[in-house]
């Protein structure tokens, strides 16, 4: 026995893990120093003890595992190992993982129990699990909040913005100067609220990784021109000169059109906001050696201080945080622009001098596909007509769009239930517009696919909805939709989308 203990001491004496060796009767024939330190018992104190008679091990059905390993010379693992010896020595029993290995020495069977204190590991794993569960719950609550916020605010905002713009247009000559000021404040405040909500929702989705994109070949010059259109009036009203420097008529890039347009709009909006006199210059060119397209937005505005440039693209960051600052905003525009461009493989750089002006330059990869062209002449003639086929179950959006476009388009409305594919054979329609509610989402997707497949004139399909989650929106793009307009929207946004739907109907040769 002494020789056996010497042999076991050579094997296990220096191990930091507690080790006990038992014979075929469950008697302890050896324990190392680490075992004595944790269990609190010396070998001499364990002479009468048998593992197989331990009440706690018996209650927890652990004895059979030890016997099986001993008799079959196999290996077993026991999670949460606890015996009466350990419980008698500790008020709070540590969490032990035991590895049991059956061995034979001098034709006698023994079991080696190697113990590992996993208390800290288990507690850490539990903490990580709780943190992960809390994070998932927070993410779920955030997504629910964003959904509710979007659906509950966009529809009433759409009504406010839409009809206030109509009132401004129709009553501008019939109301007093004071009433005009009230109406202007109502409309501008609604627009500001709408833009803030949009930016915050989009930023939240990008940061959460829920903002999906669809890379396609598109004309960068066309994207820039469509973005310019909505800011030219504001710029001219401030007395700013808009300079355009488009080196090529068309520059085709592989990008997500909406991401690129959103990024450019944020840059141009900032240029107009922070330039009080002088000019704004838009340059679009190519760097053939690097296979990149570039767009520069240069202004003669207030510029940016050197010390602030490092913080420029951080969310909610503004150089002037004083309550009475001259320029309102939430500090998300540039942060969003950078993230939009990075998602499509682009980059954004800034060069600015305080009091002189700023230049923002973004790049995008040139297209890797073949040449592209506009739709053929027959389809172009169809797109030049002035009738819109609309699908709107409730009729509220139809009435608003009809009011917006009454001077330029005739709107023919059907409910989704009444729609028949035969309607697409009418070549007098230039666009097909859906107002999609959540309850008819899947039905509308099927109709969209059906139109895309069977429309002989390949007219652009425009979806209007409260939905703002990119993954849901992408379902319609995958079904064949050309544009997706999120409520609320004004007349200018609607007209812009109608024009873009035609412009981006480009096909590879």
Q: Which pLDDT band holds residue 384 (cuts at 50, 70, 90)?
A: low
Q: Which of 142-156, 238-252, 398-412 has the lowest mean pLDDT?
A: 142-156
Return the axis-axis angle of helices 396-405 and 119-171, rounded to nearest 10°.
50
pLDDT at site 151: 66
**pTM to 2 decimals?**
0.48
Dump pLDDT digits (tens) for 53-68.
Answer: 999 999 999 999 999 9
| Structural contact between residues 455 and 161, judged by C-beta atoms closer than 8 angstroms | no
Confidence band (pLDDT; 50, 70, 90) for 503? low
Q: How far apart are CA 221 and CA 248, in angstroms?
A: 8
pLDDT score of 372 more than 50: no
Instruction: Give 155 or 434, the one with higher predicted confidence.
Output: 434
Contacts 24+ apart (CB under 8 A), 347-351: 348/263, 348/313, 350/304, 350/309, 350/312
For the ranges 37-51, 257-271, 372-386, 493-507, which has the lowest average pLDDT? 372-386
> Cα separation of 299 and 243, whole Å?
10
Token couple for 136: 């998932």
Our CA dihedral for 135, 139, 144, 148, rounded to 10 degrees, sits at 120
Contact 280, 297 (CB under 8 A): yes
Model pLDDT for residues 110-140, shown as the tens digit of each residue:
999 999 999 998 889 889 999 998 888 887 7
Cα 191 to Cα 251, 415, 493, 500, distances in angstroms: 32, 30, 12, 21
**For residue 435, what are its two tokens?**
């107002």
Q: Tell me which of 407 and 297 has the higher pLDDT.
A: 297
What pLDDT score does 110 carry? 95
Query: For residue range 85-110, what is the model confidence (pLDDT) as tens digits?
Result: 999 988 889 999 999 999 999 899 99
Phi then psi for residue 408, to 5 deg, are -120, -25
Tell me the C-alpha distance between 97 and 120, whole Å.
Answer: 12
> How confident is the model at residue 85, as a pLDDT?
93
pLDDT in tens, 288-313: 888 889 999 999 998 888 877 777 77
Rounded Cα–Cα distance for residues 255 and 418 (Å): 37
Quickly state the pLDDT bin for 381 (edges 50, 70, 90): very low
Asked if pLDDT for residue 418 goes beyond 90, the answer is no
Tell whether the torsion through CA atoms of 399, 401, 402 and 406 is positive or negative: positive
User: What values do phi and psi take at 456, rounded to 5?
Assistant: -70, -15
Indicate if the pLDDT at residue 374 is higher than 50.
no
Query: Residue 117 forms beta bridges with which residues?
Result: 96
Q: Using CA atoms, how far apart are residues 231 and 269, in angstroms rounded to an integer?
A: 7
- With pLDDT > 90 as the criterion, what percentage of the chain qualifies? 30
Alpha-helix residue ranges (DSSP H) falling in 238-281: 257-273
* Dist CA 481 CA 433 (whole Å): 10
Q: Which residue reads 């993230």 in tokens?
A: 339
More confident residue, 338 or 310: 338
Q: Judge whether 95 and 119 are in contact, CB under 8 Å.
A: yes
CA distances for 340 relative to 259, 261, 352, angstroms: 5, 9, 21
Question: In this predicted structure, what is the pLDDT of residue 427?
Answer: 77
Q: Would you tell me how many other CB atoms lie within 10 Å of the CB of residue 133?
A: 10
Examine the pLDDT at 449 and tell me if it is beyond 80: yes
182-234 tens-digit pLDDT: 888 887 787 777 777 777 777 776 766 666 778 888 888 888 988 888 788 88
CB atoms within 10 A of CB 331: 16
Quick: pLDDT tens for 15-29: 999 999 999 999 999
> So what's the pLDDT on residue 229?
80
Among 69-73, 353-357, 419-423, 503-507, the least confident range = 503-507
Residue 392 backbone dihedrals phi, psi, to 5 degrees: -150, 110
Would you tell me how many other CB atoms lie within 10 Å of the CB of residue 215? 16
**Is the backbone peptide bond immediately before 83 cis, with ω within 30 degrees of 0?**
no
For residues 467 and 503, give the distance between their C-alpha atoms in angstroms, rounded to a whole number: 24
């Amino acid at each position: 026995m002494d020789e056996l203990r010497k042999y076991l001491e050579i094997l296990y004496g220096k191990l930091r893990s507690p080790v006990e060796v038992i014979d075929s009767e469950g008697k302890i024939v050896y324990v190392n120093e680490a075992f004595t330190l944790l269990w609190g018992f010396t070998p001499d104190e364990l002479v009468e003890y048998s593992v197989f008679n331990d009440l706690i091990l018996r209650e927890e059905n652990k004895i059979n595992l030890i016997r099986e390993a001993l008799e079959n010379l196999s290996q077993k693992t026991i999670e949460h190992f606890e015996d009466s010896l350990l419980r008698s020595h500790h008020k709070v029993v540590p969490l032990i993982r035991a590895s049991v290995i059956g061995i034979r020495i001098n034709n006698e069977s023994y079991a080696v129990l190697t113990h590992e204190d996993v208390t800290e590991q288990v507690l850490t794993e539990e903490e990580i699990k709780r943190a992960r569960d809390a994070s998932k719950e927070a993410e779920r609550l955030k997504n629910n909040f964003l959904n509710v916020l979007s659906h509950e605010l966009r529809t009433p905002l759409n009504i406010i913005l839409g009809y206030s713009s109509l009132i401004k247009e129709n009553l501008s000559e019939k109301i007093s100067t004071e009433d005009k000021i009230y109406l202007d404040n109502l409309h501008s405040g609604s627009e500001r609220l709408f833009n803030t909500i949009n930016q915050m929702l989009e930023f939240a989705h990008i940061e959460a990784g829920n903002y999906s994109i669809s890379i396609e070949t598109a004309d960068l010059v066309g994207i820039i021109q469509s973005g310019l259109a909505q800011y030219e009036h504001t710029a001219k009203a401030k007395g700013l000169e808009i300079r355009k420097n488009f080196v090529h008529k068309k520059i085709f890039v592989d990008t997500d059109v909406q991401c690129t347009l959103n990024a450019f709009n944020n840059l141009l909006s900032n240029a107009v906001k922070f330039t009080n006199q002088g000019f704004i210059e838009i340059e679009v060119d190519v760097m053939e050696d690097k296979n990149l397209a570039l767009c520069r937005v240069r202004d003669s505005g207030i510029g940016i201080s050197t010390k602030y440039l490092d913080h420029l693209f951080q969310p909610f960051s503004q150089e002037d945080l004083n309550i009475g600052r001259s320029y309102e905003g939430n500090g998300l525009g540039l942060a969003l622009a950078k993230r939009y461009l990075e998602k499509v493989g682009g980059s954004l750089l800034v060069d600015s001098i305080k009091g002189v002006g700023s230049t923002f330059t973004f790049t995008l990869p040139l297209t890797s596909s073949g040449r592209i062209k506009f739709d053929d002449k027959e389809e172009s003639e169809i797109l030049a007509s002035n009738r819109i086929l609309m699908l709107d179950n409730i009729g509220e959006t139809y009435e608003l769009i009809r009011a917006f476009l009454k001077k330029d388009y005739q709107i023919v409305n059907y409910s989704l239930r009444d729609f028949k594919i035969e309607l697409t054979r009418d070549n007098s329609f230039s666009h097909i517009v859906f107002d999609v509610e959540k309850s008819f989402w899947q039905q509308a997707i099927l109709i969209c696919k059906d139109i895309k497949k069977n429309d002989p004139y390949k007219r652009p399909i425009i979806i209007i909805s409260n939905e703002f989650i990119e993954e849901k929106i992408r379902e319609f793009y995958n079904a064949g939709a050309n544009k997706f307009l999120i409520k609320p929207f004004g007349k200018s946004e609607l007209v812009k989308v109608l024009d873009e739907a035609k412009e981006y109907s480009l096909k590879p040769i």
